[in-house]
Chains A and B, each alone.
Chain A
């Protein structure tokens, strides 16, 4: 009897052990899923940019999954910030509270990116910025902040240099939005322009959403500067250039990548022709993997174009994959690994992160609107 009891016990125990092992195997087979996130303007006035960047990041994630670079499956979750700081903060808080999310690339608008820094810091979540261009984002010593895109610090000296020495522009009037973005585009530009012998003849503020610029343009018209520089975003840039041309102001209209959009081309119409911007977006044919990216993006079946910031979304995805490959899918390990990441291969070629968390080297170039396209300004 006792013998039978022992046999029975052994059978039950063996079955239990087998079952447990099988279960463990099954879990492994089902694959662990790790999430990374994109937060940006998926709704609101800058939707096109947000969606293009998000799709590009998605492309990098899909490719990593297909190539099985990581021992788990990566999934991209996305949240909209509606280009508003309050919506951005809510989105980041939501991601902070999701333990499966290990890294984020967030915000195209600088005021939104500035607003969410404390939340990323608090939950030790990496924000590898792929759009917002205010320098301050990576200057506050917050470990959780990094950037693959090019900040104003790199753009604006190049703009000043090109205007003075290439285009021979000596006097300029600035029309700027009255917010962190417009301020950054101005304070970073003025000293650089003046240092090279340029003269700023007027600085005029406007509120985002204004439609009528006739009064300030009439003032500027009387000063007859060599160029008008718009430090703001697409809608206002389109309105200003249209109203400038209607007032007979034919001087060059210059700016930065903030309004280097396809929407500007549509909205500004013929008035936008010849507009010149300093761009952080490398022309794809100049990038080691630019054309390959464009082909793969087209083949991936996204409905929307990748837009100007798409390559940065793609690079953000590539860097995240590399970080997880080297340091594992852990928030803190990813954050501390960023500044140690050297020789990382992205769409921009081989790069490294500096002590501020900026991917180096940064690409800067000048673009001009010709027909229906932003093309490289002839050197």
Chain B
């Protein structure tokens, strides 16, 4: 269950990274920081509404439950707004620049977000408690431990992915997005507003990153201003394993990363210390055999 929960969080990050690459053509290494931004917005709203107290969502009144949901929603909205802000500020002016410039720019954006959070939370690099609103109970079936937080995180992630899949496959926006993903010029000639699609994808991807951040915070109940770096690395790895630019690839990659981590930690002596080596070892092996990821399409340079 833990592996699935980890995979769920990584998948939510990987989807954004993958879509940004596919649709907009940028590798956004600030994606984890966008998630962190969402987490801290959410934490601020929690502190504003509930005085920061850890409140179990099941044992409290409707008004507190509403405040909890408002705080979580604020985190997601905060990430979306933050993502759009940095898109307009940094990525949009560089839309015709070579991809490496966009990549460097995203590193800068990551720094800016990390350091900006410290203006509001000067102690943000130290662990900050995040309200534990999911009851700590657990169910044990055979040797498998299922905690409520597993159910919440996995449930929310699956629901989000189903919605996203529906959006990508069945809606007008999804068709427009796929057409931009396949060929930007052809999409433009067919009357698709590439810029509108780009902005919508950035907002959507950032909101999903915010959701991932909030889920991560609810899962561990401890947040730090520099937690985004790890999220980016894991999400990016998942996206690359699955195939950059591919929605389902990101899911598959995230599942693999989550399971490799949990299995290495669980079954090797002192495995926790070697789980990153295992993940990146698999990444390298997959890229050697399938350079475009498991279900990625060949990447050709636009000329």
Chain A residues at the B interface, C-beta cutoff of 8 Å: 43-45, 47-48, 178, 203-207, 209-216, 218-219, 234-235, 238-239, 242-243, 245-248, 263, 266-267, 269-270
Kindly list chain B residues whose C-beta atoms are within 8 Å of the C-beta of A246. 136, 138, 147, 149
A211 and B271 contact, CB distance less than 8 A: no
Contacts of B230 in A (CB 8 A): 209, 211
Q: Are B138 and A247 in contact (CB under 8 A)?
A: yes
Check if B123 sits within 8 Å of A48, measured CB to CB.
yes
CA distance A45 to B128 in the complex (A): 11
Query: Contacts A215-B262, A235-B224; is A263 near B127 (CB within 8 Å)?
Result: yes
Is B163 an interface residue when CB atoms closer than 8 A count as contact?
no
In the complex, which residues of chain A have a beta carbon less than 8 angstroms from the beta carbon of B227? 211
Shortest CB distance A376–B (Å): 25
With A44-B125, A48-B123, A204-B272: A216-B136 Cβ-Cβ less than 8 Å: no
Is B193 interfacial (CB 8 A cutoff)?
no
B166 is an interface residue with CB less than 8 A from chain A: no
Interface CB pairs A-B, < 8 A, 8: A203-B270, A204-B269, A211-B222, A219-B266, A239-B222, A242-B222, A266-B127, A267-B129
Known interface pairs A205-B273, A209-B230, A212-B261; 8 further A-B residue pairs with C-beta atoms within 8 A, sorted by A's residue number: A45-B224, A206-B273, A207-B276, A239-B127, A247-B145, A263-B126, A266-B129, A267-B129
Q: Which residues of B are at the interface with A, using a C-beta cutoff of 8 A? A: 2, 6, 54, 123, 125-129, 132, 136, 138, 145, 147, 149, 216, 220-222, 224, 227, 230, 261-263, 265-266, 269-273, 276
For the complex, what is the distance from the CA of A210 to the CA of B6, rounded to whole Å?
13
Min distance, Cβ A377 to any Cβ of chain B, angstroms: 24
B43 to chain A, nearest CB (A): 13
With A203-B270, A238-B222 known as contacts, the answer to whether A212 contacts B6 (CB < 8 A) is yes
Given the complex, which residues of B lie within 8 Å of A210, measured CB to CB?
A: 272
Q: How distant is the Cα of A185 from the Cα of B169 in the complex, in angstroms? A: 55
Looking at the assembled complex, report how far the CB atom of A174 sits from the nearest CB atom of chain B, in whole angstroms: 10
B126 touches A47 (CB 8 A): yes
Query: What residues on B are CB-neighbors of A247 within 8 Å?
Result: 138, 145, 147
The chain B residue with its CB closest to the CB of A266 is B129
**B residues less than 8 Å from A216 (CB atoms):** 265-266, 271-272
Q: Report B216 CB to chain A, min CB distance, Å.
A: 8
B227 to chain A, nearest CB (A): 7
When C-beta atoms are compared, the residue in chain B nearest to A44 turns out to be B125
Within the complex, the shortest CB–CB distance from B131 to chain A, in Å, comes to 10
**For residue B2, which residue of chain A has the nearest CB?**
A214
Asked whether, in the complex, the Cβ of A212 is within 8 Å of the Cβ of B129, the reply is: no
Query: B222: which A residues are within 8 A, CB to CB?
Result: 211, 235, 238-239, 242, 267
A239 touches B224 (CB 8 A): no
On chain A, the residues within 8 Å of B147 by CB distance are: 246-247
Q: How far is the CA of A269 from the CA of B149 in the complex (A)?
A: 17
Most A Cβ at <10 Å: residue of B147, B216, B270: B270
Residues in A with CB closer than 8 Å to B262 are 214-215
Contacts of A248 in B (CB 8 A): 138, 145
Given contacts A215-B266, A246-B136, A267-B129, contact A206 B272 (CB under 8 A): yes
CB–CB A215/B272 < 8 A: yes
Report Cα–Cα, A341/B116, bound state, in Å: 48
CA distance A43 to B270 in the complex (A): 30
A239, chain B: closest CB distance, angstroms:
6
9 nearest A-B pairs in the assembled complex, by CB-CB distance: A215-B265, A205-B273, A267-B127, A215-B266, A205-B270, A214-B2, A206-B272, A178-B273, A235-B127
Q: Which residues of A contact B128 (CB under 8 A)?
A: 266-267
Q: How far is the CA of A205 from the CA of B149 in the complex (A)?
A: 25
Q: In the complex, what residues of B have CB within 8 A of residue A43's CB?
A: 125
Bound together, the chains give a CA A241 to CA B298 distance in angstroms of 46
Closest to A175 in B: B272
Looking at A215, A218, A248, which has the most chain B CB atoms within 10 Å of its CB? A215
In the bound assembly, the distance between CA atoms of A234 and B128 in angstroms comes to: 11
A47 touches B272 (CB 8 A): no
For residue A262, which residue of chain B has the nearest CB?
Answer: B126
Contact A45 B125 (CB under 8 A): yes
Which A residue's beta carbon lies closest to that of B265?
A215
Determine the distance from Cα of A338 to Cα of B91 in the docked complex, in whole angstroms. 59
B178 vs chain A, min Cβ distance (A)? 34
B276 contacts across to A, CB distance below 8 A: 207
Residues of B within 8 A of A242 (CB): 220-222
